[in-house]
Amino acid sequence: MRHMRGGTLAAIAMAGVLALAGCGSDGGEGGDTGSGEGSGSEALKIGLAYDIGGRGDQSFNDSAARGLDKAKGEFGVEATELEATQGETDAQKEDRLRQLAEGGYNTVIAVGFAYAAPLGAVAADYPDVKFAIVDDFTEGTDTGPNIANLTFAEHEGSFLVGAAAALKSESGNVGFVGGVNTPLIQKFEAGYKAGVKAVKPDATVQVKYLTQPPDFGGFNDPAKGETAANGMLDAGADVVYAAAGGSGSGVFRAAKDKGAKGIGVDSDQYNQPALADVKDVIMTSMVKNVDTAVYDFIKSVSEGNFQAGQQVYDLESGGVEYSTSGGMIDDITPQLEEYKQQIISGEIEVPSTT
Amino acid sequence: MFAQGACDISTESQSAFAVELRGITKRFPGVVANSDVNVGVRGGTVHALVGENGAGKSTLMKILYGMQRPDEGTILINGEPVELHSPADAIDAGIGMVHQHFMLADNLTVLENVVLGNEPRAGLGLDFSAARSKIRDISARYGLGVDPDRLVDELGVGERQRVEILKVLYRGARILILDEPTAVLVPQEVDELFGNLRELKAEGLTLLFISHKLDEVLSVADDITVMRRGTTVRSVAPGEVTARQLAELMVGSALPVPELRDSTVTDTPVLEVAGLTVQAPDGRTVLAEMSFTIHAGEVLGVAGVEGNGQAELVEALMGIRTPASGRISLLGKDITKLSTRRRRSAGVGYIPEDRHRQGVLLESTLWENRILGHQTSRPSVRGPLLDRAGARADTERIVEEYDVRTPGIDVVAGALSGGNQQKLIVGREMSGRPVLLIASHPTRGVDVGAQAAIWEQIRKARAEHLAVLLISADLDELIGMSDSLSVILRGRLVAEYDPGAVTPEQLGSAMTGAAGEVS
Amino acid sequence: MGRLSPRAIYLGLAAPAGALVFALLVCALILSVTGHPPLEVAEAMVGSLERPRTAANSLNSATTYYLSAVAVAIGFKMRLFNIGVDGQYRLAAMLAAALAGTSFMDALPSFLRIAMTIAAAMLVGAVWAGIAGFLKVTRGVSEVISTIMLNAVATALVAFLLNPDRLAVTVAGSNNIGTPTISEGGRVPGFGYPGSSSDVFGLIVLAALVGVVYWFMLNRTRFGFDLKATGQSESAAVASGVNVKKMVLASMLLSGAAAGLVGMPQLLGASYSYALDFPAGIGFTGIAIALLGRNHPVGMAFAALLWGTLDQTSNVLDLSGVPKEIVIIMQGVIVLSVVIAYELMRRYRLRLEQRDVGRALGTAREEVHQ
């Protein structure tokens, strides 16, 4: 479902993030059935369908929006954005995509796994339109010659921040605050736990999800985040990973009050203006570059390099990363880099489920 | 014999009237409107306005208190014509209203209640001390005995009423309207109230007293205006009339006399009650060890001041309230544990005291109301299904036989006047061919014709061996319609009388416990 | 309900029609203030309705909404506020989906599979609502509070069960999680809609049937009479022999059973599995539609159609640059104005009837005077 991304990013911070994430990389590898015939001559008309919340959700819809904005500025493309409503059915999602395709939008991006089945159905009917879906690659449902599946190795990035947490923890007790209990966020949890255990096999990891689906409020409820983090800190944790979108600010607030450390998510939260007063506790962030993925996809279509199939944004391609702003983990970067190389080389295989 | 009309009084002296209503007409759908109402109230007197329910008293008072505008006519206060658009206007004109239902907040003190909506400001804050001394002042001057700092919650009914009066006086009223002030009071409290009213009168205030209790009116009023069917028919002085004459003026004809012809009492017991005890939710005993028997063809009348256990007795008999102990049998069968529905199916008819609460569905049509209480019996129900045709046909019959005034059976019950609703209820309960009828105030609020019809129906059913428990506040009705008569006091049947020999006065004193235990 | 005189029909329609016109004017005002020509927006919405797909989807939404509204209305008739329809249908759909997706069901005939699935959903819904009914009857807990709480409990329970270790399965690469997909024989085929790639739910027939049963129960049975009587005046119902506690429990059970059906058209006609993206919140939509349709079986059908159509045509607004929140505003304004219009109409009607009675009395009075 939703990714997380907390706070708003200023354009300058944006650039920093992109640089860090290595956005020069041209969008992953592993295209399987790609038949990227050139469509560069044709003017791009982009339709972007958000999940619930849409632009302005301070979370991952916003991240996708930033990618779109960047592409718009760079390639001068025309774009229309639509968003989902609470409680709608697949039929409504399908209708949304279909209206875009019918309306002459030749590049359609769907944000969120909920679009998987609707996108698969529509894409089959419009072979000339290029589709992309963020966060889903289900063979047989949303795969096809005109579909790019933009997925992320959140568990890999989470492994590294988990390792950082264990290295920095004095009590051997760390926390994980998940926004909403979905398989996607469980992926963050799995990687994080593996990272912690890799450093300190006997460390304790406290886990708490703020809400259960279909209540997605856990991605935007700082008060809940603060309560959950306080509970963990009281129970002995001294580092807490906030994989909870906008709720993260509450987690950092709690960490600051109790002299502990926090770990951000999705973007380099140390640099987020909205979090300026708690940034000194954000020792690192697990950066997930949805914006990069969206931008890369648009770029590939505009340049006639469309690749169908799964594009994995992982540690190797820079699609996920840990941030170092604030210099709080400078002392352990060598160890983290070592783990990173081991993951990239396949020496360490990070589990994606708990 | 009392030829003095209201208009005649008004010719005596214009300026002597504190309040004068001239030719007031109010067209008002559904209920009896006011047409050409003329009343003159002399300053510094108690003026009673009497009439049957629905005669237009309340409408007239609402007009005088600015809650409704008259279509025609003028209102003069101390000889000056006034236009009253709202109660605020009326208060400005020195008119105050003491409502029948108190409008007090329980969790506030007397002081707070009195100043509510009229707070004495001192800068930004409230100046309670000035208000407190003003209340003490008024209370002392009129002998109201009200302590401004007590919680209203702690006050009895009589004291609350005095707070209401004080509230009105506090706002500077010189003319007080009291809407059925004795309806909620027990006899001792009535005496106290009348004492207060005399004090107020002595201080030069003018009191307009609405009632249909004629004895009270005759004892306290200086002038009486009688209303009937929306208009004023006579003004009389209390010395000129008897209660019965006043009653005949109210209804406009000779009163029907409640009486039974020959005794139809058999020796078949229908309802046997033994040791029935009922407790209120707070554990208070409201009905103590009550035992009695009603035979087929017998009417047992129960007299008593309201609130002495009548409602609890009726509800226990109907299965609405669970008794703490005791046994109730119907035709020899123990029904103590039966549900209300089973009791009704077994042939218990029920005319409730409060028809809006228990008797009708105001938002449902007349024919749907015919089904109410008879959901298990023909002609309105067949098995688990409703028989709409049957219910409708039987409703037509009731409307016809009981003279329910309605344009049809598809109007909602709430559109009917209270008396017509009552006729529908009586008709419905009688058509269930009950073996036992529990009737609380069966003729309350109905017109004279209907009253006679209801009595006749009870007589007829009694001749066909119906057993009746009759509870009424109308002592003449009780004496006339009962085969045997008991008095209920504080949850016990304290005395039995022979209806052929007892007088209303004797009953009255037994009801207040003054007569001792007579047998 | 009385006999349908022309006046009754006219008055019955005047309130919703007037309210609709008023709501449209308010929305037009909001649109023009925000710089979107109202006529163009209306044209776009009506135009999108001409697409067969939108029309078919509107019918489908209406089907689900209608079932939800009936569930709410059963409570409303008793003055019971079943806010828990949402939790009831989600839990019911989830468990019914898990049952329907099990492999042993494959061996059974299609009709039996569908019947079992639907019966299971009704049972789960009834039990879940029944808890609130039971608490109200035995402990006097307000059903408003308990059903809200039960919604939260249902959410947690569904989340707990929707786990690969329990009732759910995952598909590689997908971030969704749901119950096993129901195989062909357990599905309810839809009706083709000419020109539309999406079918009309086969269970639209079930919704219609539920409406008929609801109408029959309310107007033709003793049970329905007791239900309405209790809703109008509890004290009068008690005096007439209604066992109010039993009625509370019965109507909560019925309301819950109807709630259990809410998820069925979507589950058996489109999703074939209960997953994270199964539509949520329909229970609350049902409250609005029951209000709008005045708990009347036909009224609610129109209200559900209106609501579904507005929902489905809202997509096109986004495309034409109008924030589709305007549709939500429109729905809100419609409900508010309709509720107010009904109340005004109710008073007006009572006054009309009183005048009729007054007229009857008036003639009677003249007879007396003669």
One-letter amino acid at A203 equals A
Out of C170, C197, C280, closest to residue A183 by CB: C170
**Per the structure block, which two tokens stand in for B33?**
């409107």
The answer to whether C and A touch (≥3 CB pairs < 8 Å) is yes
- Laid out side by side, the sheet with B95-98 consists of B95-98, B175-179, B206-211, B46-50, B223-228, B231-236
Share of chain C above pLDDT 70, in %: 94
Out of C222, C235, C359, closest to residue B375 by CB: C222
pLDDT score of B261: 67
C interface test, pick of A88, A189, A353, A354 with most C CB neighbours within 10 Å: A88
Say if residues C234 and C244 touch (Cβ distance below 8 Å).
yes
pLDDT score of A240: 97
**Contact at CB, C357 and B320, closer than 8 angstroms:** no
pLDDT score of C174: 81
pTM: 0.79
**Per the structure block, which two tokens stand in for B480?**
């006339």
**Per the structure block, which two tokens stand in for C48?**
């999108």
Q: What residue in B sits closest to C236 (Cα-Cα)?
A: B358
**Contact at CB, C276 and A85, closer than 8 angstroms:** no
Q: How far apart are the first and last CA of chain B?
A: 42
Touching check for A96 and chain C: CB below 8 Å? yes
Residues 201-260, chain A, touching C (beta carbon < 8 A): 212-215
Give domain limits for chain C.
Answer: 1-36+322-370, 63-320
Q: Is the pLDDT of residue A166 over 50?
A: yes
Mean pLDDT of C25-31: 88
Touching check for C350 and chain B: CB below 8 Å? yes
Mean pLDDT of B364-388: 91
Angle at the Cα of B379 from the Cα atoms of B377 and B382, rounded to 5 degrees:
65
**Contact at CB, B361 and C5, closer than 8 angstroms:** no
Out of A83, A121, A137, closest to residue C173 by CB: A137
Out of A235-239, B27-31, B241-245, B358-362, least confident range: B27-31
B464: nearest Cα among B196, B234, B266, B205: B266
User: DSSP secondary structure string, B373-406?
Assistant: T-TTSTTTEETTEE-HHHHHHHHHHHHHHTT---
* Model pLDDT for residues C125-180, shown as the tens digit of each residue: 999 999 999 999 999 999 999 999 999 999 999 999 998 888 988 887 788 889 99
* Model pLDDT for residues B483-512, shown as the tens digit of each residue: 999 999 989 999 899 888 888 778 888 887
Confidence band (pLDDT; 50, 70, 90) for B59?
confident
Q: What residue in A sits closest to C318 (Cα-Cα)?
A: A82
Say if residues B403 and B382 touch (Cβ distance below 8 Å).
no
Task: Just give the CATH number of B1-94+175-251.
Answer: 3.40.50.300
How distant, in Å, are the alpha carbons of A190, A211, A279, B225, C156 from that of C159? 18, 10, 33, 76, 5
Share of chain B above pLDDT 70, in %: 90
pLDDT score of C72: 97
CB pairs under 8 A between B and C: 120
Q: What contacts B116, CB < 8 A, 6 or more positions away?
A: B105, B108
Q: What residue in B sits closest to C240 (Cα-Cα)?
A: B373
More confident of the two residues A23 and B482: B482
Touching check for C213 and chain B: CB below 8 Å? no
Q: Is the pLDDT of residue C75 over 90?
A: yes
- Fold agreement (B1-94+175-251, B264-347+434-519): yes
Q: What contacts C81, CB < 8 A, 6 or more positions away?
A: C75, C143, C144, C147
Out of 1.10.860, 2.60.120, 1.20.120, 1.10.3470, select the CATH number for domain C63-320. Answer: 1.10.3470
The C-alpha of A346 sits at a distance from chain C's nearest C-alpha, in angstroms, of 19
Q: Is the pLDDT of residue A21 over 70?
A: no
* Model pLDDT for residues B393-431, shown as the tens digit of each residue: 999 999 988 888 788 898 889 888 777 888 899 999 988
**Contact at CB, C57 and A91, closer than 8 angstroms:** yes
pLDDT score of B232: 85
pLDDT score of B8: 42
More confident of the two residues B280 and A260: A260
Q: In whole angstroms, what is the distance from residue A152 CA to residue A208 CA? A: 22
A1: nearest Cα among A225, A212, A263, A258: A212
The C-alpha of C166 sits at a distance from chain B's nearest C-alpha, in angstroms, of 44
Residues of chain C with C-beta less than 8 angstroms from the C-beta of A99: 48, 315-316, 319
Mean pLDDT of B108-121: 79
pLDDT score of B439: 94
**Per the structure block, which two tokens stand in for A185?**
């966020």
Residues of chain C with C-beta less than 8 angstroms from the C-beta of A96: 315, 318
Please give the mean pLDDT across all residues of chain A: 85
Q: Which CATH class is domain B264-347+434-519?
A: alpha beta
**Contact at CB, C357 and B415, closer than 8 angstroms:** yes
Q: What is the CA radius of gyration of chain A?
A: 19
Share of chain A above pLDDT 90, in %: 66
Domains detected in chain A? 11-153+290-313 (3.40.50.2300), 155-289+321-341 (3.40.50.2300)
**Contact at CB, C319 and A82, closer than 8 angstroms:** yes
Confidence band (pLDDT; 50, 70, 90) for C353?
confident
Out of C53, C158, C162, closest to residue A95 by CB: C53
Give domain limits for chain B.
Answer: 1-94+175-251, 103-173, 264-347+434-519, 358-427
**Contact at CB, B362 and C229, closer than 8 angstroms:** no
pLDDT score of C369: 34
C23: nearest Cα among C333, C343, C271: C333
Cα B445 off chain centre by: 8
Out of C221, C225, C358, closest to residue B30 by CB: C358
**Per the structure block, which two tokens stand in for C361?**
């009395």
Residues 228-267, chain C, touching B (beta carbon < 8 A): 228-229, 232-233, 235-236, 238-243
